[in-house]
Amino acid sequence: MGLDATIIAAMGAAVCVLDAQRRVVFHNPRLVALMGADVSALVTIDALVDPRDVPALDELLAAGQDATEPADVRLMRTDGEERWVSVTRSMLPEEEPARVLLTFHDVTERKQFERQAIDAEDRLTAFLDASSAVAWMKSNDGRHVYVNDAWRRVFQADPETIGDPAPRDSGALAWQTVRFPFWDASGNRYAAGIALDVTKERAAQAALRKAEEQLRLAQKMDALGRLAGGVAHDFNNLLTVIGGYAAHVARELGQEHPGSEAITEVLAATETATALTRQLLTFSRRQSSSPSSSDVNAVLSRSEGMLRQLIGGDGAVKLSLELAHESAAVLVDGTNVQQVIMNLVVNARDAMSHGGTITVRSANVPLDATHASGCDVRGAVVKLTVVDTGCGMDEATLARLYEPFFTTKTADKGTGLGLATVFGIVRHHGGCIHVESHVGSGTRFDVHLPRIEHASVAKRIA
């Protein structure tokens, strides 16, 4: 051989020499140690290599004179242990026929580490694919180098797309997203991220907040009911005395007396006040009522004169009534309906210090359109609408609109009980109330009350 056999035998790496037929014509002791047995009986180098890696060895041996890239192959040890080696090839000089020197370097530990890394990556990929969270990784040029199954399911887009596509799920989604930089073992930087769909959680939180607000309002309404009940009870006793004395005076004076007309008005006002206190007692749950059906149209017609007196006779504020063509019957006492109308009209008037128009409408809303109207009452309803062209309300005011004793008016003009009373009456009778208002654009109240037929039997409402 052109290279002294003694030198080859003394080399620190395991080596062997092949002839043109790939037969092993020489090997050093380190190759014996690597294989775990004597390899003198080997006919060709192929017997050393795992059959799965023979193609890699073929490619190495078929390479040109200047081939420098090693081949990683597994050796067939006699004890069955798998050892990975990196094989390099070089030509022995001045050999006829030409011979090849193969050098073997044990890379088993490196291969095991790489295998562990691959296994860890496979486990991480499986974990991310099983997760409902959306995960991705992008290179510095914005190209997606990894996306998980949830990403594909949500975005339904090509992972090679530059940028972040929008989700194609139906409805609005809320995402909780974490983005972070990531470096691989080679020092390459990536932009990674994980996003979790928290739509249901946000909806649940919003529902909880709404329920808490409703509970607080219900507690305030209960306090108002207790206060109103106490006041109404005492005031009702005084009205009984006033009405009794007024009736006595009317009998003593007779109808021909000049003051009889004034006494008649006192008696009428007493009867109206007594009816109102009765409704306050009902509202406070201290008294039950058995309301008969009332026609909202009829109540509005009877109340028109009083409403015009309430808004003032100077003509600055105009009142317009638009009544439904057909009957608008509800199972609500007429006095309660009148209370609702009066309070809404008075509030509308106070919102128009420079004049304007108040429009009061009644309408029958069919069953299939009730829910679409923003009302949570199931079934057909009668809708009572009061619209003004006044100053409107901001979000902060709207949030506290039905709170007892909350008012934006001065102390001599409002108590903060009007809308709280309206809310209580409407909810007590199974209805709902919806308001829309913007600063400078007026306000619209829609009161929805369950609709009935005139022939319906009145139910007892405790």
Q: Is residue 290 scored above 70 in pLDDT? A: no
Q: pLDDT (tens digit, 9 = 90+) per residue, 159-175?
A: 765 455 555 575 567 88
Domains observed in the chain:
5-106 (3.30.450.20), 120-197 (no CATH), 205-283 (1.10.287.130), 294-450 (3.30.565.10)
Of the candidates 334, 301, 323, 343, which has an alpha carbon nearest to the alpha carbon of residue 435? 343
- Decide if pLDDT at 59 tops 80: yes
Judged by DSSP in three states, 438 sits in: coil
The confidence band for 360, taking pLDDT boundaries of 50, 70 and 90, is very high
3-state secondary structure of 326: coil
**What integer pLDDT is reported at residue 448 of this predicted model?**
92
Q: Is residue 222 predicted with pLDDT exceeding 80?
A: no
Q: Within 13 A of 4's CA, how many CA atoms are on the CB side?
A: 4
- Backbone phi, psi, residue 289, to 5°: -135, 155
pLDDT in tens, 361-404: 999 887 655 554 556 677 788 999 999 998 999 988 888 888 77
Mean pLDDT of the chain: 79
Task: Please tell me the least confidently modeled range out of 71-75, 90-94, 106-110, 143-147.
Answer: 90-94
Give whichever of 31-40, 77-86, 267-276, 281-290 has the largest mean pLDDT: 77-86
Q: Is the pLDDT of residue 263 over 70?
A: yes
pLDDT number for residue 164: 55
| Beta-strand relationship, 317-322 and 356-365 | parallel
Which pLDDT belongs to residue 171? Answer: 55
Judge whether residue 9 has pLDDT over 70: no
Residue 163 is predicted with a pLDDT of 54
Residue 3 pLDDT greater than 60, yes or no: no
Q: Which of 144-148, 167-171, 187-191, 295-299 has the lowest mean pLDDT?
A: 167-171
Q: 459 pLDDT exceeds 60?
A: no
Distance CA 203, CA 215 (A): 18
**Confidence band of 113 (pLDDT split at 50, 70, 90):** confident
For the stretch 241-248, contacts whose Cβ atoms lie closer than 8 Å and that sit 24 or more positions apart, written own/partner, are: 242/266, 242/270, 243/267, 243/270, 243/271, 243/274, 246/270
Average pLDDT over residues 424-448: 90
pLDDT at 439: 92
Identify the band that residue 359 occupies on the pLDDT scale cut at 50, 70 and 90: very high
Query: What pLDDT band is residue 31 in, cutting at 50, 70 and 90?
Result: confident
Q: For 427-453, what is the mean pLDDT? A: 89
Q: At residue 208, does pLDDT exceed 50?
A: yes
pLDDT number for residue 455: 42
Better-predicted residue by pLDDT, 114 or 317: 317
Residues present in the chain in total: 462
- Note whether 99 and 25 are within 8 A (CB): yes
Q: How far apart are CA 98 and CA 289, in angstroms?
A: 117
What is the percentage of the chain residues whose pLDDT exceeds 90? Answer: 11
pLDDT band at 289 (very low <50, low <70, confident <90, very high): low
What pLDDT, on the 0 to 100 scale, is given for residue 456?
A: 46
Whether the pLDDT of residue 64 is over 80: the answer is no
Q: Residue 110 — pLDDT band, cuts 50, 70, 90?
A: confident
Pair 419, 427: CB distance under 8 Å: no
